[in-house]
Structures are given as C-alpha cells and as structure tokens.
C-alpha cells in the first residue's frame, strides 16, 4: 500500500476513535503534508480553527509556524505537520492521558512517514514523542539523536505569539531546521 493510503487509514481510525474524542470536540485533525517528508513538525493539540476545518495549524499559531517553515527555506508541501492530540481539548490544555493515548496514533503516522528529522514544538510534543518532559524554555534549540532519528526541541509557536521575545528564540531555532536533514 502507498504511504498516503496508509496515512488515510490511520486518519479514519482517528475519526472513529472514542478514546481520542473523550473530553474533546470538533473535527478530527489527524495531520497533513507530504507522506515522504524528511521533516515532520509536531505541535500540541488542535485549536478552534483547526477543529472547525479538520486541518492542523491553520489558526494564528499555524500562520506563524507556516511562515517559520518557509523562512527556514522549506516548502509547506514538502513537510508534514501534526500533533500528538487529534481533537480540541475541552479544557484547552491536553491531559497527560490525552498525550499518552495520542502517541499511539502519532507513532503509527511516524512509522509510515519515516522522517529523518522531527521538530518538537513545545513540551506536549516532547512528551508525546520522546515520552519524557524537558523544560523547553531553557532546553530549546537542543538537538537529540534517538533511535536513528534527529529531533530539534523548540517552543510552541503560540508562545511566540504571546510573548515576542520567545518568537525571536523560535526564529533562531528554526535556522537549524534545514541542517537537520543535510547530514
């Protein structure tokens, strides 16, 4: 089966998943992008705009993320964008159990795409992918090699929108993004 078909199958599992929907609302937001992407960007959970459209990172944070991707010299259509949590959490912030459950779907997506590098946008992404916590405000910019994959830890774009000095840190970290796949 082609990678896109496999990703579509995972997306329909997410659409039918009652555990994913628990304490959440709106459309499923499985992720989008190139199934052969070298780089995957991973966020937190859909916001209101994403839950309305079913597309990841299309609200204000998404516009910042997408402009950072372009400024890093990449094309949006060449990368893949997703989150560990696939529905809008009623409480805004996902619970640890939401992140742990979302990891199951996310791992399947990553196994299909098999990217060279993953950009972890904030602490929920770190927890959802690496399975442990990192203080992202001090550890951002760090590159981690694990199980044949390269990870770049950075902040969530929403943090950059809330506090402009953090946007500068995101811009600095994104300068490393293209080097991740050159090695």
User: Which residues make up the interface to ligand URA (CB under 6 A)?
Assistant: 29, 43-47, 50, 56-57, 59, 61-62, 83
How near is the Cβ of 148 to ligand URA at its closest, in Å?
Answer: 25
How near is the Cβ of 31 to ligand URA at its closest, in Å?
Answer: 8
Q: Are 80 and 32 in contact (CB under 8 A)?
A: yes
Q: Which residue is nearest to ligand URA (CB)?
A: 43
77 vs 13, 61, 161, CA distance in Å?
24, 18, 24
Tell me the C-alpha distance between 86 and 112, whole Å: 17
Residue whose tokens read 């550890």 = 139
Of the candidates 76, 90, 88, 166, the one whose C-alpha atom is nearest the C-alpha of residue 121 is 166
* Residue with smaller CB distance to ligand URA, 33 or 56: 56
How near is the Cβ of 24 to ligand URA at its closest, in Å?
Answer: 13
Q: Structure tokens of 136?
A: 């992202």
How near is the Cβ of 182 to ligand URA at its closest, in Å?
Answer: 26
* Residue with smaller CB distance to ligand URA, 107 or 179: 107
Tell me the C-alpha distance between 49 and 146, whole Å: 33
How near is the Cβ of 55 to ligand URA at its closest, in Å?
Answer: 8
Residue 90 class from Cβ within 10 Å (0-12 exposed, 13-18 middle, 19+ buried)?
exposed
């Amino acid at each position: 089966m082609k990678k896109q078909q496999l990703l579509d199958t995972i997306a329909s599992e997410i659409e039918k998943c009652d555990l994913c929907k628990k304490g959440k609302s709106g459309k499923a937001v499985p992720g989008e992008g190139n199934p052969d992407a070298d780089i995957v960007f991973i966020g937190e959970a859909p916001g209101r705009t994403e839950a309305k459209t079913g597309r990841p990172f299309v609200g204000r944070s998404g516009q910042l993320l997408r402009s950072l991707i372009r400024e890093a010299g990449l094309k949006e259509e060449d990368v893949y964008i997703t989150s560990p949590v696939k529905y809008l959490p009623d409480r805004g912030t996902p619970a640890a159990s939401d992140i742990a459950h979302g990891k199951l779907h996310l791992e399947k997506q990553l196994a299909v795409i098999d990217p060279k590098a993953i950009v972890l946008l904030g602490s929920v992404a770190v927890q959802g992918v690496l399975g442990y916590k990192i203080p992202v405000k001090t550890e951002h910019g760090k590159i981690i090699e694990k199980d044949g994959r390269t990870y770049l830890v950075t902040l969530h774009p929403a943090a950059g929108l809330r506090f402009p000095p953090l946007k500068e840190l995101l811009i600095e970290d994104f300068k490393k993004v293209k080097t991740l796949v050159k090695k």
